[in-house]
Structure 1
Amino acid sequence: MNARKQQFVVAFALFSLFFGAGNLILPPQLGFKSGPFWWLVALGFCLSAVLIPLLGILAHARLQGTMYDFGKKVSPTFSLVYCYLVYAISIGLPSPRTASVTHEMGVAPLFDTPSLLTSFVYFALVFLFVMNRSKILDIIGKLMTPAIILILFSIIGVAVFSMDGDFGGSGFTHPFSAGILEGYQTFDAIGAVVVGGVIIISINLKNKASAYHEKRKLIGRAGWLAGLGLCLIYTGLILTGALMQGEFAKDINRTALLSGISLKTLGNTANLFLSLLVSLACFTTAMGIVTGTADFVKGRFNDSQRVYMLTALFGCILGVLMGQFNVGYIIAVALPVLMLIYPITIVLIVLNVLPEKYTSKKIFRWTVITTILFSIPDFFVSLGFEEGMGSIKNWIPLSAFHMGWVVPALVVFIICNVFLKKQGD
């Protein structure tokens, strides 16, 4: 395979591994609620759901290791705990969510079957593909992604060119931060450190003789292409939701809105196309999560293929069980976890992208510790303890936007760099 063709295959694979349940159902409702401020929401959403994950892929291109390498500068123990926590979250929440969305939007409108049967068949296929992981790049990059992109552009194109362009009011007080926080729910920053490792291993299986700098260039360019595609799709879906503001009830839920938009844009064939789109988008993400988790656990047990198989089987069984809950419930359960783990993941990604002269072990350690400490108030607020955290959050910058960790982490990063530079002098 020539370099340019492989670059597009990897880019398509990255796009498809990222573009799952949340990426499909979250943007339209964001636009629907934002009205004339859809562009601000889109900017915030793309910041947390495109730019940060893209930086995660670039960090993987630089490290060319596993997720363990992301946090080992803090400490080996921290990195190990972080990895197990992220993989547990990934197979426990976003992976089962893909099965729930597939049933609610892809299967239920066409067939009168129970969700348990959908989840069982769904994760049986996931397990089959995960056990053939050497073919994952080609299966996703050449077959599934083009179909996903074609259907998405059909929905967006018809909506943008056929609607009047009249926007109603906005339901957001802070559209930009609302977009950022909703981007958390895509799990894509976490996805970057999980599926980035899958891409690295898949490339190594196909190109064992390639040099480090060749693989870094391939992953980097493919990451930028995938990021551009995601940005265009998200912006288009948010704009589509905004244009449809007068077409549906204000309290419509995420899945019903996407179904309604599909019906209005694709007509009588909407259910068939939407079922195909949802199934493909969700399936590729679940496959990436289960493969990444199995790869990591396998690496911790001397590359045992048996451990790989057992981990993949456990991830699929858990997916079947958790997939019985509806999408709204899984999103609600995920929020407190995301308010704590997402800031840590973002900081680790950024630190791994920056030049090494600015990211010594001490700087890693203190910046991450600061991030953890200042994420705790948002974590407790998301659990319902807002009254107890009110006095603390009042003096933390950006805490009103649920981003109280940003300024303290940045200040500590700068102070550590200045202090260590003076010590070096």
Structure 2
Amino acid sequence: MGMSWKNRFVIGLTLFSMFFGVGNLIVPAFLGATAGEQVWMAFAGFAVTAVLLPVAGMAAVARCGSLERLTGRVHPVFALVFSVLTYLAAGPLLAIPRAAGMSFEMAMAPFLDSRLLDWFRPGYSLVFYGIAMLLAWKPERLSDKLGRITGPCVLTILTLFVIGVIFYGASSVSGEPHIFYGNDPLGTGLAKGSQTQDAMAALCFGIVLGMNICRKGVSDRRNLTRETILAACFTGLLLTAVYAVLTCAGAMEGSQNPEAADGIAILSGLFGRIFGVPGSALLAALFVLVCLNTCAGLLSCCSAYFHNLVPGVSYRRWILLFSAIGFLAVNTGLDRLPDLADPILGILYPPAIVLIVLSFLPGPCQRLKGLYPLTVGLTALLSLLGNMTLAGVWLPGISEGIARLPLYRQGYAWINGAVTGILLSLTFSLLPQKRGNTRKENVE
């Protein structure tokens, strides 16, 4: 039995709230401000990696049943390592600490004397993680909070922003695009969309989203898969609409304020022009809400995964642990944890994309010999070596070869590994059977 459309809206809004973090606010706004006349070509690339890939990732995990089953098509050891690293890098090492830090910088720092920041930060982050834990305390009820309370609040502020942009007046998009957009607007848009890391997050969200769908009365696997895909599609449409508005608004502001340094400056200028003095408070509230939503969503998903992995440690203890890590990262020397997570996600991102794409290949292709181990394995290897080379870790004889590969300068050298893996898998599948097998058949 499926859900009512009302419950589908709540589940879809819950998923939107989990995806829509601070990066999803500032990246499209800055893209619009810097792309100039190439804005919509850049937006098309952005939408592929920031919308299409996350939706496809949710659908891939839903069709397989879990992230472990999807990654298990490569190898059980790979499934464990990839899943653990993905959850750790996306959650407690990156987004969970950044959520409190970014919201403090937007909600508190502008209104405080700089000498008081270190005094107020611990208290703020303690309250922030306390609220996030309350939202995530019961994973199967996450939709009751994000889908019915905080998510609608975010949509309300965004709706006011859209109305303000319309009445503010659409300036013509002008100005020369940044050199990266001028040379390759589509490719730059693809890279900017990857910065949201939502394709990786999509692989993590299914575990808790499924709990919330089941709580709405969906029990069988087929309907659960269908409802998850419907929620992902709804979220994709909503994200596309919001990104389009933010990009358009960023283009308007960029033509009038070309000196803006980043997406935060663009949004601050827009909210100030549209709403006047209250604009700063409204933008601060928006930042706090989106940070709370993503933090609560990741706390819930990461805790649920590690509780399943280590049943001896309860779900709520995992929440306390990850919140404590976030608190320490914001207030102590652990603030460099995100610097560790970024390269890990950069290495995991290409094999994640390949896993998602392979999962949608038709049945005959799925039966190719070694399709997943060869394709994902070579992709992961080139992703690791490529990221090491780009980071300046030079391996004699290897790094030179990596640097000569097609698409290396664009950051897509791993595509060579994916194509090679598919061709090898196809070749092995077309090879004749071993002679021993043929003789055995003849004897029989």
Please confirm whether the aligned pair reaches a TM-score higher than 0.5, indicating the same fold: yes
> Which of 134, 138, 160 is 1:132 aligned to?
138
What's 1:68 paired with?
A: 68
Counterpart of 2:346 in structure 1 is: 339
What residue is the counterpart of 1:268 in the other structure?
277
Please, which of 317, 321, 335 is the counterpart of residue 314 of structure 1? 321
Deviations 1:377-424 (A, max 9, x none): 431244245898874345322222111112430342244135425658
Equivalent-residue separation in structure 1 for 2:101 and 2:394 (angstroms):
30
Q: Aligned-pair distance for 1:110?
A: 4.4
CA distance in 1 between partners of 2:55 and 2:233 (Å): 7
- After TM superposition, give the deviation of residue 36 of structure 1 in Å: 1.1
Task: Select the residue among 182, 191, 200 that pairs with 2:210.
Answer: 200
Change (3 A) 1:186 1:258: same
| Alignment partner of 1:166 out of 136, 155, 173 | 173
Residues 206/74 of structure 1: CA separation in 2 closer, same or farther (3 Å cut)? same
Inter-partner Cα distance in structure 2 for 1:44 and 1:380: 25
- Give the structure-2-normalised TM-score: 0.86
Does residue 147 of structure 1 match 2:153?
yes
| Cα separation, 1, equivalents of 2:432 and 2:242 | 48
Given candidates 383, 397, 417, the residue that maps to 1:375 is: 383
- Secondary structure of the residue aligned to 1:354 is coil
What secondary structure is seen at the aligned counterpart in 1 of 2:219?
Answer: coil
Q: What secondary structure does 1:400 align onto?
A: coil
Q: Does 1:212 align with 2:218?
A: no
Taking the TM superposition and a 5 Å limit, the aligned residue runs for 1:34-49 are: 34-49=35-50
Structure 1 residues 188 and 397, CA gap change in structure 2 (3 angstroms): same
C-alpha root-mean-square deviation of aligned residues, in Å?
2.8
- 1:188 maps to amino acid: D
1:279 maps to amino acid: V
What fraction of aligned residue pairs are identical, expressed as a percent?
28
2:374 corresponds to which letter in structure 1? W
Contact 1:133 1:291 in 2 (8 A): yes
Tell me how far apart the structure 2 counterparts of residues 396 and 227 of structure 1 sit (CA, whole Å).
34
Partner SS, residue 269 of structure 2: helix
Residue equivalent to 2:257: 248
- Does the Cα contact within 8 Å between 2:146 and 2:293 map onto a contact in 1? yes
Q: Specify the alignment match of 1:15 in structure 2.
A: 16
Local SS of the residue matching 2:127: helix
Structure 1 residues 359 and 118: CA distance shift in structure 2, 3 A: farther
Q: Over alpha carbons, which structure has the higher Rg?
A: 2
Cα shift readout 1:151-203 (whole Å, capped 9, x = no counterpart): 22432443356132131111123222222222222120111011122101222
Once the 2 structures are TM-superposed, how far is the Cα of residue 335 of structure 1 from its aligned partner?
A: 4.1
Cα deviations by residue, 1:345-400 (Å, 9 ceiling, x for unpaired): 11122223334442347211001111112213431244245898874345322222
Q: Check 1:155–1:213 CA distance in 2 against 1; reply closer, same or farther (3 A cut).
A: same
The residue number in structure 1 matching 2:247 is 238
Residues 325-336 of structure 1 mapped to structure 2, 5 A cutoff: 334-336=341-343
Q: Which residue does 1:51 correspond to in 2? A: 52
Q: 1:255 to 1:420 in 2, by over 3 A?
A: same
Residue 283 in structure 1 maps to residue 292 in structure 2:
yes
CA deviations on 1:125-162 (whole Å, 9 max, x unpaired) are 11222222232012111222222123224324433561
- What does residue range 92-103 of structure 1 map to in structure 2 within 5 Å? 92-103=93-104
Q: Mark the CA change 1:300 to 1:160 in structure 2 (over 3 Å): closer, same or farther.
A: same
Note the C-alpha offset of 1:250.
Answer: 2.7
1:323 counterpart SS class: helix
1:342–1:14 Cα change, 3 Å: same
Tell me by how many angstroms 1:205 deviates.
3.9
Instruction: State the alpha-carbon separation in 1 of the partners of residues 55 and 365 from structure 2.
Output: 20
**1:237–1:378 Cα change, 3 Å:** farther
Alignment: residue pair count = 420
TM-score, length of structure 1 as denominator length: 0.90
